[in-house]
Structure 1
Amino acid sequence: MNSWLDVQTEVLRRLHNRVWKPGELLPAETDLAIEFGCARSTVNRALQAIAEEGLLERKRRGGTRVVVHPQRKATFTIPVIRLQIEQLQRDYGYRLISRRVQRPPLKLRECMKVPAGQNLLHIKALHTADQMPFVLEDRWINTQVVPEIATVDLKSNSANEWLVENVPFSGGDYSLSASMASDTEAAALSCEPGASLFTVERRTHTEYLSVITAVRLLYIPGYKMRIDL
């Protein structure tokens, strides 16, 4: 393994699969460094990053132990786009634009916390309201975390709704911004290139920080998000 991110990914995989159970003491850093073929400092950085997320407990001269009850961050509700549109008293429609298994670009790979060479499922879809474009969905899914997605008919079932209904998550992060529509995005959303689009970028993960999916949602010009406090 060449980087601490690779070590982190493998350690998280073992935690997720209960190779190391809650309360169990991990092998010494020197032993892990030999197993992973890297420097001890690389292992140390990876374990420290996971400990900062509350999954490992590290004590000087006491080693590193799997936390029995991981501290969870506050969760948030992921909206189902179909319900959003129907609540506006409009007819919902959905069209799958593309579905490909491919290697993600570097920035996306780092966002998804996957090792180099791993393929992800890349989905693009358009959600409509009264047969007019409403939001463009650009989504990446880690099929090693959600292998069931491989057999789902995404032409008739949106990934958004299927994931909400079938894949539990323990946390994530999201950002809200405005972005300028590219030519391709403008064509899909029936707007002018360069138009300002309300943009939601969201990532969700499992209890052991394995990223499930990262999605970028581009809403039509003029869209307003309402948040109930």
Structure 2
Amino acid sequence: MIQGWEAIRDEALRRIRTREWSPGETIPNEEDLAREFGCARATVNRALRDLAEAGFLERRRKAGTRVTVLPVRKATLEIPVIRREVEARGAVHSHRVLSANRVVPPPPVASRLNHAAELLLVETLHLADGRPFALETRWLNTAILPPLPDPDRVSLNEWLVGNVPYASGDIEFSAEAADSREAAALGLVEGAALFITERRTFAPDGPITLVRLAHAPGYRLRTEV
């Protein structure tokens, strides 16, 4: 008897990887699997749904569930808390708010957020042992957010991750040359190579935030597949 949807997921994944369930093969239905594992059908459904979201299974109504012929591996990427990233490197984190203003977003920002009304723009410099680590440029839709903390005392990055759920979002990565403003903030020469992360998050009733993180040279991102 296997209990818990995670254990059922792991057993199903083992069968896929060992080709006990071959690529393209239709697997037993949920009722049969629930009987085999000695659990509720809903538990099996949760396990198979997780594998389908990961790209290992294809689920179709009335056609059953089959093993994906060419499974798509997906990376697992969490929104990072910059303080924890710095501390994981054995350094002490601090941050400094460089500016905070309510402004109408320029057309590129308004287009990406589908929101042309006034937003709060906060620019924050994150430090590791007193040295520049990342420059955070963040647009915030305060109309749908709870009252914000004092950004001088609490990092908005950490506060948002811990307090504001989101329904959808996306992340883009790029390598760009530092402009004069970024170079001055990060203590670099203009044109230095930066690792850029841009992230949007949305609630059901509108955008939450658009943030651009410019990381100093030497930054490394790690994820799982």
Question: Which bracket does the TM-score occupy, shorter chain normalised?
Answer: 0.5 to 0.7
Q: Aligned partners of 2:206, 2:95: CA distance in 1, in Å?
A: 28
In angstroms, what is the RMSD of aligned CA positions?
A: 1.6
1:135 aligns with 2:138: no
Q: Percent identity of the aligned residues?
A: 42
- Unaligned 5+ segments in structure 1 are 1-73
Q: Under a length normalisation based on structure 2, what TM-score does the superposition of the two structures give?
A: 0.64
1:217 aligns with 2:213: yes
Q: Aligned partners of 2:147, 2:114: CA distance in 1, in Å?
A: 20
Once the two structures are superposed, the pairs formed by residues 75-114 of structure 1 within 5 Å of their partners are 76-114=77-115
> Match of 1:185?
182
Of structures 1 and 2, the larger Rg is shown by: 2
* Stretches (4+) displaced over 4 A: none
> Match of 1:160?
157
Give the deviation of 1:126 after TM superposition: 0.5
Once the two structures are superposed, the pairs formed by residues 1-229 of structure 1 within 5 Å of their partners are 76-115=77-116, 118-149=117-148, 152-206=149-203, 208=204, 210-229=206-225
Gap change, CA 1:173 and 1:209, over 3 Å in 2: farther
Give the deviation of 1:203 after TM superposition: 0.3
Contact 2:170 2:199 in 1 (8 A): yes
Q: Deviations for 1:168-201, whole angstroms, at most 9, x for unmatched residues? A: 1122001000011011110110111000100000
Contact 1:178 1:196 in 2 (8 A): yes
Gap change, CA 1:222 and 1:76, over 3 Å in 2: closer
One-letter amino acid matched to 1:140: W
Gap change, CA 1:211 and 1:86, over 3 Å in 2: same
Give the deviation of 1:222 after TM superposition: 2.1
Contact 1:75 1:172 in 2 (8 A): no
Contact 2:77 2:224 in 1 (8 A): no
> Match of 2:36?
none
Q: Aligned partners of 1:201, 1:209: CA distance in 2, in Å?
A: 21
Return the structure number with greater relative CO, CA threshold 8 A, min gap 6: 1
Contact 2:76 2:224 in 1 (8 A): no
Q: Under a length normalisation based on structure 1, what TM-score does the superposition of the two structures give?
A: 0.63
Gap change, CA 1:86 and 1:94, over 3 Å in 2: same
How many residues are matched? 151
Q: Aligned partners of 1:147, 1:101: CA distance in 2, in Å?
A: 16
Gap change, CA 1:209 and 1:174, over 3 Å in 2: farther
Q: Match of 1:157, SS? A: coil
Q: Aligned partners of 1:103, 1:75: CA distance in 2, in Å?
A: 34
Q: Match of 2:147, SS? A: helix
Gap change, CA 1:75 and 1:228, over 3 Å in 2: closer
> Match of 2:42?
none
Q: Deviations for 1:21-68, whole angstroms, at most 9, x for unmatched residues? A: xxxxxxxxxxxxxxxxxxxxxxxxxxxxxxxxxxxxxxxxxxxxxxxx
- Unaligned 5+ segments in structure 2 are 1-74
Contact 2:77 2:223 in 1 (8 A): no
> Match of 1:63?
none
